[in-house]
Amino acid sequence: MSEIKENQLTSKGMKTRQKILDTAEEIIGEKGYFETSIVEITVKAGVAQGTFYNYFPTKKSIYDELVYQMSSSLRYQIKLAMEEKSSFEEKQRAGFLAFFDWVINHRNLYSIIQQSVLVDKNLYRWYYEKIANGFIKSIEEAIDIRECKPLNPETIAYCLMGIGQFIGMRWVYWEQQPVPDNVLDEVMEVIFNGLNREGEN
């Protein structure tokens, strides 16, 4: 049976498709891509296998859609949070906080994205490059108005991404709790004032 395109779906069809995606996110996030079967997804979602194939031709196709959808949702939330702020520092703080808040409700992001190293390396790279592009744009704007040192925006972007990735992993993914305020304060201190004690009061 041919796949139904998203723009052809009725309201009910959209809900069914999303239910299948949400179930796949949960199972693949917990068990892993290679250990998850379409049968498991359909049983837990409460739909027939034929219904699954109406929306997704293969297990890989639903995995790809999970990565695309999570990426889009995450980047949108970060963009909204940053748009409300004026200075570069305020934007970065808001962006980090939006990321941590989003991951609280999508903890399987870590597992699903890391699996893509084995499932599809190009997809793995695409995911991080999309995140990096948002950072780069913000950094370039800050450099233009002299709120950021004129360093390579891509280098800065990946440094900031690394900080967000592992701070989120430490508290949200491992501890299943929001990132403490004092931790976010220290992250901003490191980013904007560094580790050098010169000039310290």
Of 31, 40, 38, 43, the closest CA to residue 62 belongs to: 38
The tens digit of pLDDT for each residue in 84-95 reads: 999 999 999 999
pLDDT value at residue 198: 76
* CA-to-CA separations, 137 to 150, 154, 158, 186, in angstroms, rounded: 13, 9, 13, 24
Place 4 in a pLDDT band, splitting at 50, 70 and 90.
low
**In CATH, what class is 64-193?**
mainly alpha
How far apart CA 60 and CA 105 sit, in angstroms, is 23
Q: Is 180 exposed, middle or buried (0-12, 13-18, 19+ CB in 10 A)?
A: exposed
pLDDT value at residue 10: 86
Mean pLDDT of the 162-190 span: 96
Q: Is 141 exposed, middle or buried (0-12, 13-18, 19+ CB in 10 A)?
A: middle
**Residue 195: is its pLDDT beyond 50?**
yes
**Residue 193: is its pLDDT beyond 70?**
yes
pLDDT value at residue 127: 97
Place 2 in a pLDDT band, splitting at 50, 70 and 90.
very low
**Residue 5: is its pLDDT beyond 80?**
no
Q: Is 157 exposed, middle or buried (0-12, 13-18, 19+ CB in 10 A)?
A: buried
Identify the CATH number of the domain defined by range 1-57.
1.10.10.60
The tens digit of pLDDT for each residue in 24-70 reads: 999 999 999 999 999 999 999 999 999 999 999 999 999 999 999 99
* Three-state secondary-structure class, residue 76: helix
Segments making up each domain of the chain, as ranges: 1-57, 64-193
Which DSSP state fits 147?
S
* Three-state secondary-structure class, residue 34: coil
For residue 196, the one-letter residue type is N
Which DSSP state fits 172?
I
How far apart CA 87 and CA 139 sit, in angstroms, is 11
The proportion of the chain whose per-residue pLDDT surpasses 70, expressed as a percent, equals 95
Of the listed ranges 3-17, 116-130, 173-187, the one predicted with least confidence: 3-17
Q: For residue 180, what are its two tokens? A: 């403490």
pLDDT value at residue 1: 35
Mean pLDDT of the 158-180 span: 96
pLDDT value at residue 183: 97
For residue 64, the one-letter residue type is D
The proportion of the chain whose per-residue pLDDT surpasses 90, expressed as a percent, equals 90
Angle at 177 between CA 187 and CA 68, to 5 degrees: 80
Q: For residue 144, what are its two tokens? A: 């233009």
pLDDT value at residue 126: 98
For residue 72, the one-letter residue type is S
pLDDT value at residue 200: 67
Of 116 and 5, the one with more pLDDT: 116
